[in-house]
């Protein structure tokens, strides 16, 4: 096995996704292929309806392909049942969304602990891991604050801490800067780059913003359910 094959984390082979039947059928993905190595930072771009969100939902085990193969560390994800996909999601994937999705009356620490609570971790272990995750995103002194007491950028940092507290292999970010101003957006992107470069977390990020995509080493462009362009840059924006 070559070093490239050994580092291959994700592979999509001939993936299609069709919604509806007959004349009402809509093919959101049309036999796409995609390979992502461990440690990559990939920006996923494309207009509305291009298939990028469908592809991300399949990668995140939130949806299943109509046909084709999805391999995660060599495991055929398309063959897993719902419970097995949920376990893969829980143990290997982290999610960051545009809307933060934090519990409003719950402290930053308790929000970050949630994935560990679902895993059945004891309280002391949850607290320690959540504090460490908050420190990694620069919020060591904010653990007792609720979302209402935090800025938008700080709320997104809490959401990122929640996503990384389980030490996921892959972080799936859907428009993570969409609700932030320019300065806060760049701060979040610098944080994601640091997590990718220093912690080795593989990141797949959907964005409509070219200046945010510029932080990634690689950009995959979707058009009409196909991968239209796959570019690897020599230098990222803040390297």
Q: Is the pTM above the cut of 0.85?
A: yes
Say if 238 falls within a structural domain: no
- On whether the CB atoms of residues 131 and 143 are closer than 8 A, the answer is yes
pLDDT at 4: 52
Q: What is the DSSP string of 74-116?
A: TEEGGGS-HHHHHHHHHHHEEEEETT----TTS-HHHHHHHHH
pLDDT at 235: 47
- Domain with 214, as residue range(s), is 3-232
Radius of gyration of the chain (CA): 18
Say if 45 falls within a structural domain: yes
210 CB-near residues (< 8 Å, 6+ apart) = 45
Say if 90 falls within a structural domain: yes
Say if 239 falls within a structural domain: no
Say if 119 falls within a structural domain: yes
> Is residue 101 helix, strand or coil?
coil
The angle that helices 152-164 and 108-118 make with each other, rounded to 10 degrees, is 20
Say if 130 falls within a structural domain: yes
pLDDT at 29: 97
Q: Show the tokens assigned to 194.
A: 């640091």
94 CB-near residues (< 8 Å, 6+ apart) = 163, 164, 166, 168, 170, 171, 172, 201
Nearest to 198 by CA among 164, 157, 163, 235: 164
Tell me the pairing of strands 75-76 and 226-232: unpaired
The CATH code of the domain that includes 20 is 3.40.50.300
Say if 237 falls within a structural domain: no
pLDDT at 232: 93
- pLDDT tens across the length of the chain (239 residues): 444 555 999 999 999 999 998 888 899 999 999 999 999 999 999 999 999 999 999 999 999 999 999 999 999 999 999 999 999 998 999 999 888 899 999 999 999 999 998 888 999 999 999 999 999 999 999 999 999 999 999 999 999 999 999 999 999 999 999 999 999 999 999 999 999 999 999 999 999 999 999 999 999 999 999 999 999 986 444 43
Rounded Cα distance between 171 and 188, Å, is 14
Cα 170 versus chain centre, distance? 6
Say if 154 falls within a structural domain: yes
What DSSP state is assigned to residue 78?
Answer: G
Count of structural domains within the chain: 1
Q: Where are the alpha helices (DSSP H) in 137-181?
A: 152-164
């Amino acid at each position: 096995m070559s070093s490239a094959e050994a580092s291959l984390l994700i592979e999509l082979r001939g993936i299609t996704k069709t919604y509806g039947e007959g004349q009402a059928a809509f093919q959101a993905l049309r036999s796409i292929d995609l390979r992502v190595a461990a440690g990559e930072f990939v920006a996923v771009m494309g207009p509305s309806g291009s298939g990028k969100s469908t592809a991300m939902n399949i990668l995140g085990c939130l949806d299943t392909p109509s046909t084709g193969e999805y391999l995660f560390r060599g495991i055929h994800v398309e063959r897993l049942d719902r419970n097995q996909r949920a376990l893969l999601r829980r143990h290997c994937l982290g999610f960051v969304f545009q809307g933060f999705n934090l519990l409003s009356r719950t402290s930053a620490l308790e929000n970050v602990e949630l994935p560990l609570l679902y895993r059945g971790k004891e309280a002391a272990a949850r607290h320690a891991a959540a504090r460490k995750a908050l420190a990694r995103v620069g919020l060591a002194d904010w653990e007792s604050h609720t979302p209402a007491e935090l800025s938008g950028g700080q709320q997104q940092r809490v959401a990122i801490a929640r996503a990384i507290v389980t030490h996921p292999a892959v972080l799936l970010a859907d428009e993570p800067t969409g609700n932030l101003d320019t300065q806060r957006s760049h701060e979040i992107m610098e944080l994601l780059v640091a997590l990718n470069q220093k912690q080795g977390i593989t990141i797949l990020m959907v964005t409509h913003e070219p200046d945010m995509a510029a932080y990634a080493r690689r950009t995959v462009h979707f058009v009409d359910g196909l991968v239209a362009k796959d570019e690897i840059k020599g230098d990222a924006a803040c390297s």
